[in-house]
Chain A
Amino acid sequence: MVSVRMRSCVLSVLLLNVFYSVVSSLYFHIGETEKKCFIEEIPDETMIIGNYRTQLYDKQREEYLPATQGLGMFVEVKDPDDKVILSRQYGSEGRFTFTSHTPGEHQICLHSNSSKFALFAGGMLRVHLDIQVGEHANNYAEIAAKDKLTELQLRVRQLVEQCTRLTEERDEAERQLKHIKRGFHCDFCREERP
């Protein structure tokens, strides 16, 4: 009884920390009307989780503070055929998820929804971004708890996921190479995929 309480407390601390460290990683600055795009090479039927957190420069306190609630980020994701698969507005801190249905280069674009130039006061918005693809998005602690796996079984599961990712990437590269070897590379030929 007591150990369950302790375990749940430790687990919640752990998960909190994982979440915190996941979002407060790499950051960059973005202008008010600027749009920043990132490209991810994603295999078929893979889940992508993107976490972001924004901060605005406070001139009085001379430091970056979490952005106000009114400020949001517009996230747009396009698949390799240039079709929009996700187009949503999130708050100043958010998490977007999507699953790829076509293997290839997906484009993830972010821009702030602020149209009030006074809000930024000529400054920049600081965006902490983290994008996890496929097996990196797996929360192994969750999987272990759900399927009741031992550490060894979990480790083997991770290895299997890594190998799957390798073979999928290799297959995709081979398919693209075949296209080129045929003497042309056309964007209309996607329907030839088996």
Chain B
Amino acid sequence: MYGSFRLVLQVLSAQLLCVWVLGSELTFELPDNAKQCFYEDITIGTKCTLEFQVVTGGHYDVDCRLEDPEGTTLYKEMKKQYDSFTFTAAKNGTYKFCFSNEFSTFTHKTVYFDFQVGDDPPLFPNENRVTALTQMESACVSIHEALKSVIDYQTHFRLREAQGRSRAEDLNTRVAFWSIGEALILLVVSISQVVLLRSFFSDKKTTTTRVGS
């Protein structure tokens, strides 16, 4: 009986360890005039962070809106390139966040977002964790946390670099088209000028009025 009680206790503690987790990090395409919403079920008291960044497209901005289960807007920003929002869930239920490109007529955008819910799960469950962490272990934990933020920063720098590259390529294409267009116009104008000038000096077969008898 004692054995089964211990088993139940261990099962319960194992269950507890698995409740939270998960961060979702996605990069998706948002077509023009479109709105894309994502939903997540969050329990009360969980600390969550939403970060987003526009990677390619147009003026690299997007509208973002975060609502709680009752529809109250927790976060709303228009035409933002990059932002980070942290909140603690005050209610149980489905939280919804939407990205909107409805203000744009023909540019489709690529948006990256990272939605972290709660803390990371422990590395593996330790049924008999009675002692405190050793100095080595706590140092490892703090290095792990620091590396997580380094990875986060690197992701944002990488996306910013991709954004810069996208802008440069866009400019390159526009300059190329502009140059080609201008060269064509130049050619057309110069040829037509030459033709026009020549027409002033060529013998016209028009009737000339004879003055006199």
Contact = CB atoms under 8 A, between A and B. Distances in A.
A82 interface: no
Interface in A1-39: 2, 6-7, 9-11, 13-14, 17-18, 21-22, 24-29, 36-39
Judged by DSSP, the binding face of A is helix
B39 A26 contact: yes
Interface residues of B, number: 52
Contact of B124 (A21, A38, A140): A140
Contacts of B26: 26, 38, 129, 131
Contacts of A38: 26-28
A141 to B, nearest CB: 5
Given A10-B125, A151-B123, A185-B165, A169 B158 contact: yes
B70 interface: no
B18 A14 contact: yes
A28 B37 CA distance: 6
Contacts of B15: 13, 17
B44 interface: no
Nearest to B13: A10
Interface string B143-179: 1100110110011011001000100110000000000
B144 A155 contact: yes
Contact of B143 (A21, A152, A159): A159
Contacts of B21: 18, 21-22, 25
Nearest to B147: A162
B24 A155 contact: no
Interface of A: 2, 6-7, 9-11, 13-14, 17-18, 21-22, 24-29, 36-41, 129-131, 140-141, 144, 151-152, 154-156, 158-159, 162-163, 165-166, 169-170, 173, 176-177, 180, 185
